[in-house]
Structure 1
């Protein structure tokens, strides 16, 4: 275990031993503040271009995004199809749980369709079942919470009342209500299908 914890350390060379007293050469945390100041501009520039590979995604996800809100916006920008393509070969260990947690904590009604697309894209990746099995209990609970939110959003809200006016407007309003209810039905079916895939 200690070897793993110290895996980022590099052995000292002869010239390193003669360094000034009080400086710790092997500890990357000491110089982190300086590096963050100098690379803050680079980080902002990196995020202007969305990742195309899983390596680029990991880099941006770990280094550039500081909190859950930023990660949530990042996932929304990428969309489900792009995520499915990026992680086509394999979704890295722990990422699925992080995604579920971030989505559950930050999802709002306007983003519902985008979140469903993200969940669809992730479920199409290889070894998805293995990633599900490796979720922690807290991550599974986040997944359940996310799907509860999705279900409650599909059953409530969004129905606009019939306009009071001429008959043409009434029939137009009825048609809109019918199409929105059909859309909700299909969205509800998609969510139920995803719940089966995510074993919720």
Structure 2
């Protein structure tokens, strides 16, 4: 058998797992929508909250999230003093990097681990646009696009302009993007527009400032990408 005809089973397995995750997510959210309709929720926000929480499961008593764990400690010298046997020494858990391999892992960490806006913002920049595009190639998911845009709008810094543009460009290339964009709430729409206005403002040179010749080409490319994104996000 020729080398170019050898199948990459790891890639096939990863692709199959991504498809299974997407199907599971679709069925779960669809079931949540049906439950919300049956319950006759009073508002769109209540309906949206039910769908967004469809992936959550109750924790078992043995489950433990965050915090510190303790281990028994035998006689040894700690800081120049002897610690008696049986004393519990607290060891902080190390924070794992945000590197989800599937959409299910992303949703899990986004909901349970990344609680604050700055944490979510840094995680998005750390992950980067290309990785986000691969994760959500099929679909970003109901409600998540709005959360991503709000996070970027609330915490975007001028120094991160290129990285934020990369994230926005990758999200615009995901499956069913126009549909997800149409489902944004009015508040999310306003945050999206505010984000683009910030990007526009940070790209313009200040009074008395001129772009260096070596930076002009990069600045022009970013500006061209921004203009393209204005149209893709239907803000023109």
- Tell me how far 1:182 sits from its aligned partner: 2.9
1:69 maps onto 2:135 in alignment = no
Contact 2:129 2:168 in 1 (8 A): yes
State the TM-score, normalized to the length of structure 1. 0.71
1:154–1:37 distance in 2 versus 1, CA, 3 Å? closer
1:133–1:43 distance in 2 versus 1, CA, 3 Å? farther
1:66–1:127 distance in 2 versus 1, CA, 3 Å? same
**Aligned residue-pair number:** 163
Equivalent residue for 1:186, pick from 221, 228, 236: 221
Aligned partner of 1:35 in structure 2 is 64
- Structure 2 residue ranges without an equivalent (≥5): 1-38, 42-46, 70-90
Question: 1:182 and 1:63 mapped to 2: Cα distance?
Answer: 41
Contact 1:103 1:146 in 2 (8 A): yes
Aligned partner of 1:140 in structure 2 is 189
Higher helix content, 1 or 2: 1
State the TM-score, normalized to the length of structure 2. 0.60
- Tell me how far 1:37 sits from its aligned partner: 5.3
**What SS does the corresponding residue of 2:137 show, helix, strand or coil?**
coil
The alignment's C-alpha RMSD in Å is 3.3
The equivalences for 1:41-120 within 5 A come to 45=95, 47-120=96-169
Contact 2:152 2:164 in 1 (8 A): yes
Aligned partner of 1:199 in structure 2 is 234
**What SS does the corresponding residue of 1:35 show, helix, strand or coil?**
coil
- Structure 1 residue ranges without an equivalent (≥5): 9-27, 162-175
Question: 1:37 and 1:49 mapped to 2: Cα distance?
Answer: 15
